Amino acid sequence: MSGPKSVVVEYDDSTRREISFNQVGRQAQLELASLGLCNAPCAEKPKAYLLLQWKDGWKEIVAVDERATELLRYYTIERVEEIGRISLETGSCGPELLLIKRLPGDIESILLVGNEELKAYGLQEKVTIKEGGKVEHVFYDKKRPNFCEHDAVTASAWYAVILDSIEKELQSKGVSATSVLVKGEDERLAFYKELVDVLGLKGTERQQDVHGFLQAALQKIGRWKHRRNGSPTR
């Protein structure tokens, strides 16, 4: 759906008044969205998210730089304790580095949910580097030919599993994605906490990362609904 340009109010005597949609306040935009006339406005600046999944089924979400485009490397460094390191490509600003402390050698996959695209990576230890008192275990490295990312179809399928589980939970509660997005902040966050428990998602560093991930997912589900229902685009 393309973005709305204006809001028109027509009176019984055929008088029309029109203002730019950008002049409409956020609450009014939310109410229009609840009527199916537009998409709900974003609550905050878009972010990219990583969905990390362990072999035991444990899943975590971490928000990353919105410019993140792909995984550069995933490896662990073993000294007294083992800590994982995720390196992400973020364009000209240099890579972003994240630390993984929970069972870093047991992460099974990483899904990068960006603003424009999805990327999926299956992790498998293929390189071990011993240097001094440390051991480096490499599970993914863009520069090495024996590692590769999954194709777009696989990435979409992984994300679809998450979206389908969210949509099923919405249906069980008799609510739509848009109706959740237009709730007040406190009520919306309370609903997100319920979803988090059902989906088994945890925040790697901050629980609000999970809430942001859910917000983006609900916005995507809402856009799907608009297209399926043939909602007006203007």
Return the bridge partners of 71, or none: 88
- Residue 82: inside a domain: yes
Average pLDDT over residues 205-217: 89
- Residue 123: inside a domain: yes
Residue 60 has a pLDDT of 94
Model confidence over 15-49: pLDDT tens digits?
777 777 666 666 676 667 766 677 666 555 558 89
Residue 223 has a pLDDT of 76
What is the average pLDDT score of the chain?
83
Average pLDDT over residues 165-176: 90
CA–CA separation, 109 and 200 (whole Å): 16
Q: Do residue 92 and residue 132 come from a single domain?
A: yes
Residue 233 has a pLDDT of 39
Lowest mean pLDDT among 18-27, 64-73, 112-121: 18-27
Nearest to 137 by CA among 94, 100, 88: 100
Reduced to 3 states (helix: H, G, I; strand: E, B; else coil), residue 176 is: coil
Residue 74 has a pLDDT of 92
Residue 234 has a pLDDT of 35
Beta carbons of 128 and 135 less than 8 angstroms apart: yes
Point out the domain boundary residue: 151, 171, 206.
151
Instruction: pLDDT band for 219, please (50, 70, 90 cuts).
Output: confident
Model confidence over 142-151: pLDDT tens digits?
988 888 789 8
Return the bridge partners of 68, or none: none
Domain that holds residue 200: 154-229
Share of the chain residues as helix, strand and coil, in percent rounded to the nearest 5: 35, 30, 35
Indicate the number of domains in the chain. 2
DSSP states of 120-150: EEE----EEEEETTEEEEEEEETTSTT--PP
For β-strands 118-122 and 107-113, DSSP reports them as antiparallel
- Residue 39: inside a domain: no
- Rounded to two decimals, the pTM is 0.70
Residue 76 has a pLDDT of 92
**Angle, vertex CA 211, rays to CA 166 and CA 110, nearest 5:** 75
Q: Do residue 146 and residue 158 come from a single domain?
A: no
Residue 7 has a pLDDT of 77
Q: Do residue 143 and residue 209 come from a single domain?
A: no
Q: Do residue 192 and residue 134 come from a single domain?
A: no
CA–CA separation, 3 and 60 (whole Å): 32
Instruction: pLDDT band for 9, please (50, 70, 90 cuts).
Output: confident
